[in-house]
Amino acid sequence: MTTWHSTPVPLPESRWQFPPSTDWPRSDLVGRGADLEPETLISAYRCGIFPMATELALGDNDLAWFSPRKRAVLPLDQLRVTRSMRQSARRYEIRIDTCFERVMRGCAVPDRPGAWITEPFIDAYAQLHRLGWAHSVEAFDENGVLVGGLYGVRVNGLFAGESMFHLQRDASKVALMGLVDAMISANMTLLDVQWLTPHLQSLGVIELPRSAYLDRLSRAISP
């Protein structure tokens, strides 16, 4: 059974204040600027916002913050587990939080389409991990080699998935199975995966209007 290994360290208030959702523009991009300090990141996730490095945001002081108008979430009881995934699950060992930065770097390979996980992001989320807010779920093969995984941020009942990677067949999917199991065991309720893709849709991911996502988020992050 995979379990969560840490309780997050309390954070100070962020010096940045994100605007209320009623003031957000009618686009996925809702803000620019701020920083990647732990308290800024967690404040953003609590608001339903996440950062990315884009072509329009190249410097540390020019970050882009998103809240998709159509938010992709995976209902925990709707993960589609194929026969191939079940067979692969027998070959991999799932662990949580044993090599967070290695998972991030696996997700950050520069030749991936739309690669955005830069060194400042790795540093920032590694710090979140050390503080108990960011987590990785890892798949190891029979030789103990890391062959896939995913990472994201947990705030109470929310897990905000950021990225996943695989080096062997179905390794990231089996890591996702492990994440769902861990979330159910911890009575978590909301698995956010940002934007819908055909791959995610094949796994059971659905889209919610921004307002519906924010309602679910409010309930999920309540103590």
pLDDT of residue 116: 74
> Mean per-residue pLDDT for 204-216?
98
pLDDT band at 1 (very low <50, low <70, confident <90, very high): very low
pLDDT value at position 110?
Answer: 64
113 has a pLDDT exceeding 80: no
- C-alpha 196/C-alpha 44 separation (Å) is 20
Q: Looking at the predicted structure, is the pLDDT value of residue 149 above 50?
A: yes
pLDDT over 50 (residue 16)? yes
pTM above threshold 0.85: yes
Residues near 139 by Cβ (< 8 Å), separated by ≥ 6?
92, 93, 94, 146, 147, 148, 149, 166, 171, 172, 174, 175, 178
Q: What is the pLDDT of residues 166-196, one digit of tens each?
A: 999 999 999 999 999 999 999 999 999 999 9
Give pLDDT, residue 84: 93
Cα atoms found within 13 Å of the Cα of residue 159, Cβ hemisphere only: 25
At 159, the pLDDT band (50, 70, 90 cuts) reads: very high
**Residue 223: band (very low, low, confident or very high) from pLDDT cuts 50, 70, 90:** confident
User: Domain spanning 71-221 has what CATH number?
Assistant: 3.40.630.70
Interval 51-86: pLDDT, tens: 997 654 444 447 899 999 999 999 999 999 999 999
Q: Average of pLDDT values for 83-100?
A: 96
**Which of the four pLDDT bands, split at 50, 70 and 90, describes residue 112?**
low
Q: Give me the residue spans of the domains in the chain.
A: 26-68, 71-221
The Cα–Cα gap between 186 and 170 comes to 24
Say how far apart CA 132 and CA 97 lie, in whole Å. 10
Residue 2, pLDDT > 80, answer no
